[in-house]
Structure 1
C-alpha cells in the first residue's frame, strides 16, 4: 500500500511553502519512499514510485534540469521536487512542459525550507500510511474469515472511514508472469498498478494477498466505477508478458455479509481460469450461480458421475472421445448435420455415436429433457 502524491503534498504549500508547477494529472501517482539525490545518474538509486528532491548542485547548463527530469521519468519517479536557491534559480519552461506531458508532478520549495526536514516528515507519513493500510487489510480479512468479535472489527473499520453499510466489491486476480517467477515481486507490481487505477477513481480501497491471488476491495464504488476500473486495468496491461484471470463479486451493502461476497469473487476467478477468460463477473455466471448455491455438493457430484462422469470413464478406458463429441453436439444445438459438417463425417456416423452415448449413460441425447440433463452435467463438471 502507498500514499498518493496529492495526499502527501496536499498541505505542502502551508507546511513547506511548496508550489506545484506541472504534472497535475499525476497527483494520483503512488509514493513508496523519498530521496534527496544530487547525482544526475539517478537510475542506480531508484526502484520506482519515489519522490526525488534535488537542489541541482550539478546544474551547470540550460539542459541539465530537463535531462534530469527525463531520467527520473524513465525509472518511474512519482514526483520531482526542486529546491530553488543558489544552484537552481528557476525552472525553465521546457522542464515544466515536459513534466506536464508525462504527468510527473513538479514542485518547488524555497531555499529556506530545509530538504532534510521535509524528507524526514514525508518518510514518517509514508510509514504511518503503510501501518494504517496494513491494519485495515488485517481487519477486513478478520471479518471475512470470522476471526474475533464482529462488532469490534466493524468499529475498527468505521474509524478508518469504512462504514458498516458501505458497498463492497471484491476483485480476485490470479496471475502468472512468463518472464519473472518471483511471486512477491509480481504481487507487489499488481498491487501497485491496481491501486494507482483504483485511487484515481475513489479513495476507499483495500488490497491483500490470498492463496497466491491478489484480492482488491473496492469500497463505495458504483457499478460504473467498477467497470471503469476493470476496463482501465485490462487496457493498459501487458498481455504478452502476463496471464491474468479476474473474478468480480457483487457490489453489496453491509459489511456483515462480505464473507460470502469474497467467495463469489474467488468463484468467478476460478471460472475465468477454467474457461480461459480474462474476466468473469459473478452476476453474469447465470446457471452456475444456481449450482454454486446448492448446499448439498454431494448431490451435484452424484449428478455429474451419473451423466458426464460415465462417459469420461468410458473414454479413458477405451481411448475414445465421446465426451468431446457430446459437448460439440450440444454446442451446435443438437444439429446432427452441423456436427457432421464440422467433424467431416457422415450423418449416420453422428447418429451411431449418439446411440453409443445413450447405451453408455442410459440417457438419450436426442430427447429434450435428457439433453438438458447432459447440459447440466457439463456445467457441474466446470465446478468440480
Structure 2
C-alpha cells in the first residue's frame, strides 16, 4: 500500500509553506521515491512514481518549465515541486493548466525552505509507509497460510484499519510472455499499476507476491467495484508483450474466512491460465470448482484416460481431429443435423464419425449417460 501524494504532503503547508497550485485530481498518485533534479534530461534519473523537486537553475526563459513538466509526465513522475526563488520567480499559467490537464500535483515552496529538509522528510515517510505495507502483507499471509495465533493476527490487522468483519476479494495474477521466452516479469510494474488503479476506486487494499504471481486483496470494495477494477485493468493494460491471467475470488466477509477465499482465487487463476483466458471469476466456475478442488488428481487422470484418452491418442497417431468433432457434437446437444450443417457434411458422415468414436472409446456418444461421461471428460481435460 504505497503512500499517496496527498498523504505525503498533507502537513506540507504548515511544515514547509508548500502551496498546491494544480493537479488536485492527482493527489491519489502513488509515490515510491523523491529526487532533486536540475538537469532537464529527467528520463535519465526516473523510474516512475517519483516526486521531483527543482529550483530551475537551468531555467533560461519562457517555455523552459513547461517543457520540463512535459518530460516529467513522460517519465511518469507522481508530483512536481518547484522552489520559488532567483531561478524560478513564478509558475507560468500554461504550466498550471498543463498540470491540471495531466492530473499531476504541482507544488511550490519558498526559497527559504531547504529542499534537502523536504526530501529527508519525504524519504522517511516513504520508508515508514513501506514498513507498514510489509507488516500488513506479512500478517494477511500468516492468516492465509494459518501461521500463528489467529486472534493475535486479527488484532494486528485491526490496528491497521482492517476490521475482522471486513469483506475481502482476492485477485491473483500470473504473467506469460507472448513470445514464450524466459524473460522475468517486473513485479514492481504490476504493483504500482494495480495499486494505483485500486486506490482510484477505494482506499483499503493489500498486495504481495506469491509463487511468481501477484496478489491483490481488495478490502471492503463492492461487487461493482471489483468488476470495475478488473475491466479497467485490462482496458488500460499497456504491456502488450505480456499476457495476464487473472483469478478473482468471491467477495467474502470475515478475516477468518480468507484462507479458503485466497485458495479459490488461486484456483481461478490456474483455470484462466489453462484455458488461455484473461480472467476467471471463481463463483462462475460451476463444475470446474468440484474438479479443481478434488484432492486425488489421479482419480481425474484415470477418468480422462478411460473416456477421452484413447480418442486423443488415436488423433495423434492418425492425424485426425475426432476430439474436436466430438466436442462440437456435444456442444450442439447431440444433434447430428446441426453438426452436419455447421461442418458442411452429410448426416451419414456425422453418423459414421460417431460410430468410429464409439469403436475407439467403447462409449456411444448418442447415449445420454455416455454422452454425459464424454462431457465430463472434457471438463476434466480443462483442469489437468
Most deviating of 72-81 and 323-332: 323-332
Q: CA shift at 1:105, angstroms?
A: 0.7
Relative distance call for 1:178 and 1:297 in structure 2 (3 A) is: closer
Distance in 2 between residues matched to 1:334 and 1:143, nearest whole Å: 48
Most deviating of 307-316 and 327-336: 307-316
**Corresponding residue of 2:218:** 218
Residues 1:228 and 2:235 are matched in the alignment: no
**Corresponding residue of 1:97:** 97
Q: CA shift at 1:247, angstroms?
A: 0.9
Deviations 1:190-217 (A, max 9, x none): 1110010001111211111122111111
**Corresponding residue of 1:140:** 140
For residues 199-348 of structure 1, what are the structure 2 equivalents within 5 Å? 199-238=199-238, 240-294=240-294, 297-348=297-348
**Corresponding residue of 2:111:** 111
Q: CA shift at 1:357, angstroms?
A: 2.1
Gaps of 5+ in 2: none
Q: SS of the residue aligned with 2:34?
A: strand
Q: CA shift at 1:370, angstroms?
A: 2.1
Distance in 2 between residues matched to 1:164 and 1:138, nearest whole Å: 16
Distance in 2 between residues matched to 1:158 and 1:20, nearest whole Å: 33
How much is the aligned-residue C-alpha RMSD, in angstroms? 2.0
**Corresponding residue of 2:72:** 72
**Corresponding residue of 1:361:** 361
Most deviating of 310-319 and 130-139: 310-319
Q: Give the TM-score of the pair, scaled to structure 1.
A: 0.93
Distance in 2 between residues matched to 1:244 and 1:165, nearest whole Å: 31
Distance in 1 between residues matched to 2:134 and 2:184, nearest whole Å: 19
Distance in 2 between residues matched to 1:41 and 1:172, nearest whole Å: 37
Gaps of 5+ in 1: none
Distance in 1 between residues matched to 2:340 and 2:238, nearest whole Å: 40
Deviations 1:129-172 (A, max 9, x none): 11111111112112111222222222222221112211111111
Q: CA shift at 1:87, angstroms?
A: 2.0
Distance in 1 between residues matched to 2:44 and 2:182, nearest whole Å: 23
Distance in 2 between residues matched to 1:175 and 1:167, nearest whole Å: 26
Relative distance call for 1:50 and 1:182 in structure 2 (3 A) is: farther
Q: Give the TM-score of the pair, scaled to structure 2.
A: 0.93
**Corresponding residue of 1:23:** 23
Distance in 1 between residues matched to 2:341 and 2:213, nearest whole Å: 43
Q: CA shift at 1:349, angstroms?
A: 2.1
Residues 1:171 and 2:163 are matched in the alignment: no
Q: SS of the residue aligned with 1:58?
A: coil
**Corresponding residue of 1:183:** 184
Distance in 1 between residues matched to 2:3 and 2:68, nearest whole Å: 24
Relative distance call for 1:162 and 1:48 in structure 2 (3 A) is: same
Distance in 1 between residues matched to 2:346 and 2:19, nearest whole Å: 78
Q: SS of the residue aligned with 1:52?
A: strand
Deviations 1:24-61 (A, max 9, x none): 11112111110111222222221111101111222231
